[in-house]
Amino acid sequence: MLSYRQISEDGDRLEHSVDEVIAQGRTEYQSYVFFRSPSQGVCVALDGDVQSCEVDEALYHEALVHPAMLLHPRPRRVLIMGGGEGATAREALRHPSVEEVVMVDIDAAFVDLCRRHLASWNARAFADTRLDVQCRDINAYLEEAGAGFDVVIGDLVDFSDEDDPAAALYSQDLYTRLRRRLNERAIVATQTGGLTATSVAGHRRVRRTLGEAFAEVTSYAAVVPSFYHLWSFVLASDAPLPNTGEPPLETFHTRALARGLDLPGTGAASLAAAFAIPHSIREKILS
């Protein structure tokens, strides 16, 4: 049987069994593989790293999107940085107060591949008239965009070191540019890679950069089985945020209920529990 191998954050080798290679190649910006796994369904990998698997992509996308959306009292305009799979937009559009979602992903060819090969994940999102897809560089977009975003979601590729081109997507320059496009009390959420008992550097680096741009930052993490690690996220805002270790269960439960929001992958309690990062890891993040 074919297999797809990658190296994890802590140097371990991960392996996915492959029943079928659906598509593979290279766009102008990155290499890609869409494949079908017997245990995880359709999976997509970019530049050697698995980004999502059908069986648990909802766990990742719900954890990325809904904490920020639920902490905001009435999100109307949402900006997605990256998100070419369309699943991040799908989740943001589920909130009834949302009037517009702008998805900015530089790779038009990858977005088109996702439209074709991940339609069961994203077809409703791409068909929604509230979604504006901009295939361009996020820095260029932020130079020209008007203000007025309530929530920003960073669904961007990871970076390994400061020399990696993807590092610019998590830079102080980008966050400074982003601030000018936000409404008062806006919330920014971004994925920040895997967490292990010994590997928190990537998460801490992004958290510190966001902390230089915003008054409040907080961390949370969720289990995504196909990633083989606890997966981490950071929220940033000038408005108060839940402290790491203080689950916002009442807020999540009340607002999800009021919005008629079903969370089939996670649920309000699980999303709130994501803020209770294990103590030994939390201490390393905050040090």
Catalytic residue list: 155
Structure tokens at 164: 């990696």
Question: Other CB atoms closer than 10 Å to residue 262's CB: what's the count?
Answer: 9
3-state secondary structure 83-95: CCCCHHHHHHCCC
Residue 214 CA to chain centroid, in angstroms?
A: 19
Contact 135, 107 (CB under 8 A): yes
Residue type, 149: F
Q: Diameter of the chain by CA atoms?
A: 53
Contact 181, 148 (CB under 8 A): yes
226, containing H or E segment = none
Contact 68, 81 (CB under 8 A): no
Helices (H), the chain: 57-71, 87-92, 108-117, 119-127, 138-144, 172-179, 201-213, 249-258, 268-273, 279-286
Residue type, 249: L
Contact 233, 63 (CB under 8 A): yes
**Minimal CA–CA distance to 219: which of 228, 230, 229?**
230
CA 174 – CA 141 distance, rounded (Å): 11
**Minimal CA–CA distance to 197: which of 277, 270, 95, 252?**
277
